[in-house]
Amino acid sequence: MLLNLLVGIPVMLLCLVMEAYIVVLSLRYYVSYYARTSRAGAGDKTLLWDCLVLGLVMLLMMLGYFVQIALWAGLFMLLGEFDEFATSTYYSGVTFATLGYGDIVLSERWRLLGALEAGNGVLMLGISTGVMTAAVKEVIKHNMERLKHGSNG
């Protein structure tokens, strides 16, 4: 059990740092977009741009998930749990998303890593949910301010 923790916790920390970087990158882009549109005034394409910016934030979050899933899959390959990266990635994706089908499982020696990855996945999905909630709230606030000032878009 201790070996599982010594191997799994650093991977979880790496995933957390990676997710934090992606969140900061997304929010910086997001904030700079709204700062530019506020100064430039609202145009007819505002709705399209709002959707595009939210979509890009979601895309960055998903990219972060895929990288983390691949990182865990690589660890499982390194430990000799799977012969093919595709199988390792499938297991990792199912575990990260906490689906837990059970059709493919880790050996008894490393099975605690599955629980650690599932915990990692729940944490990352929670962080992303918070980021997207804040982003949507900002879009609503931004559009309410535009409506208040007589601009539509």
Tokens representing 107 are: 């050996």
What is the dihedral angle through the alpha carbons of 139, 144, 147, 148, rounded to the nearest 10 degrees?
-150
Q: Is 132 exposed, middle or buried (0-12, 13-18, 19+ CB in 10 A)?
A: middle
The pTM assigned to this predicted structure is 0.84
pLDDT in tens, 40-67: 555 556 778 778 888 888 898 899 999 9
pLDDT in tens, 29-39: 877 877 777 66
Listed by start position, the domains of the chain span 2-36+46-148
CATH 1.10.287 fits 2-36+46-148, yes or no: yes
